[in-house]
Copies of this chain bind each other. A is one copy, B any other.
Amino acid sequence: MESMIRVNLGSLSYNIAIGAGHLDRLGELITPLKLGKKILLVSNPEIFNYYGERTRISLEQAGFDVAICTLPAGEEYKTPETLQMIYDAALKYRLERSSTMVALGGGIIGDMTGFAAATWLRGINVVQVPTSLLAMVDASIGGKTGVNHPQGKNLIGAFHQPKLVLIDPDVLQTLPEREFRAGIAEVIKYGVIWDQELFVKLEQSQGLDNIQALDSGLLQEILTRSCQSKADVVSQDEKESGLRAILNYGHTIGHAVESLTGYTVVIHGEAVGIGMVAASQIAVKLGLWDEDSDRRQFAIIEKAGLPTQLPPGLNINDILDSLQTDKKVKAGKVRFVLPTRIGEAIVTDQVTSDIIRQVLESSPVRCLA
């Protein structure tokens, strides 16, 4: 079983190749792209330990010269300082403009490697090999790259499209369960905002809360539909001047929750889950979508084993405050993505603080503090 999805962006177009065992075909799959001979493979020690040698061998067998750069794992290292480690490796290995960085890892490795590639010699090639579900269906596609500023996630970054995204579902076997569920949050998102059929498949599936609950056919379909959704949206709006903003469904309140809990209590996908529950209720309050759809979405999020309530201790005023520093603020107004029916969403800046407060104070997304 394998699929190939095209992200259409003119001269920046590229493929997403999805298939079990693809990791060993990386070298073969990038050969037609006419990249330079030198590759810097960037990973973290744990992921490299699992998949680094297979990746390296696949590349070397296809004739590439491979150098390795491993970065410390964890969001706290997603900084300009860690970026210097990639730059230093790039210099040491004398990467040229035709050279390529390969990001082997989750969203953090992908974002940092993408940004390093975006900014080394004013832009060299990058190939994304995501190893987490979240990175597979979201972070690795669409060219958003970056590092954190001490006061905000991904504030420093660039758009830099990869030359290829290679997804091997087999590597999800080593992904911690909690991270798997967090990835499912983004899959649910695509079902709500873009792909009604995906939504229904998630609704009908027996279990969503761990990889063993999914048969490989369904997993391949979930990956393919999610990547296709993201590709559709990004192809229409690379730089997020319009449509692409709908991908932030669940992310407005989600980011605030992540940020206020220091990115440790609640991980990204979980925060998005909470954010989707909240956004769905806001949409109900505004009469944009019905309670039945809200309940159906809630049921899927619960089935995926994702949290649906704000973590204890969060202050609602702090959340409202935090929304003001979001990257998506425009002319001081907070923008929300709200579903209108299953498979469709809109962006609006017409959500008042009062409505946000009402939703955050009420069950199910009530503040437990």
Interfacial residues, chain A to chain B (CB-CB below 8 A): 36-37, 80, 83-84, 87, 91, 94, 96-98, 115, 118-123, 144-146, 149, 151-152, 154-159, 239, 324-325, 327, 329-331
A207 to chain B, nearest CB (A): 37
A330 engages B87 (CB within 8 Å) = no
A365 to chain B, nearest CB (A): 27
- In this complex, what residue of B is CB-closest to A36? B331
Whole-angstrom distance between the alpha carbons of A31 and B79 in the complex?
36
B156 engages A123 (CB within 8 Å) = no
**Given A120-B155, A121-B155, A155-B121, A149 contacting B97 (CB threshold 8 A):** no
A119 engages B36 (CB within 8 Å) = no
The interface residues of chain A, by DSSP majority, are classed as: mixed
**Given A91-B151, A149-B91, A158 contacting B118 (CB threshold 8 A):** yes
B159 engages A146 (CB within 8 Å) = no
B119 engages A158 (CB within 8 Å) = yes
Whole-angstrom distance between the alpha carbons of A324 and B94 in the complex?
9
**Given A36-B331, A97-B327, A331-B98, A156 contacting B87 (CB threshold 8 A):** yes
Whole-angstrom distance between the alpha carbons of A156 and B36 in the complex?
19
A129 to chain B, nearest CB (A): 22
B97 engages A156 (CB within 8 Å) = no
A87 engages B119 (CB within 8 Å) = no
Whole-angstrom distance between the alpha carbons of A96 and B119 in the complex?
22
B330 engages A122 (CB within 8 Å) = no
A123 engages B325 (CB within 8 Å) = no
- In this complex, what residue of B is CB-closest to A143? B122
**Given A91-B155, A123-B158, A96 contacting B149 (CB threshold 8 A):** no
Contacts beyond the supplied A91-B149, A122-B154, A122-B239: 5 A-B pairs with Cβ under 8 Å: A96-B331, A122-B145, A122-B158, A123-B239, A158-B158
B residues in contact with A37, CB < 8 Å: 331
**Given A96-B329, A329-B96, A159 contacting B122 (CB threshold 8 A):** yes
Of all A-B residue pairs in the complex, the 9 with the closest CB atoms, nearest first, are A122-B157, A119-B156, A121-B327, A119-B158, A91-B151, A122-B159, A122-B158, A80-B80, A87-B149
B157 engages A144 (CB within 8 Å) = no
Can you spell out 15 A-B residue pairs with CB atoms less than 8 angstroms apart?
Answer: A80-B80, A87-B155, A91-B151, A94-B325, A97-B327, A97-B330, A118-B158, A120-B156, A121-B327, A122-B145, A122-B154, A122-B157, A122-B159, A122-B239, A123-B239
Question: Looking at A96, A239, A324, A330, which has the most chain B CB atoms within 10 Å of its CB?
Answer: A96
B residues in contact with A324, CB < 8 Å: 94
B156 engages A144 (CB within 8 Å) = no
A154 to chain B, nearest CB (A): 8
A97 to chain B, nearest CB (A): 7
Whole-angstrom distance between the alpha carbons of A36 and B157 in the complex?
20
B residues in contact with A87, CB < 8 Å: 149, 155-156
B residues in contact with A118, CB < 8 Å: 158
- In this complex, what residue of B is CB-closest to A152? B91
Whole-angstrom distance between the alpha carbons of A36 and B91 in the complex?
38
Q: For A330, give its contact among B96, B123, B154 (CB under 8 Å).
A: B96
A146 engages B122 (CB within 8 Å) = yes
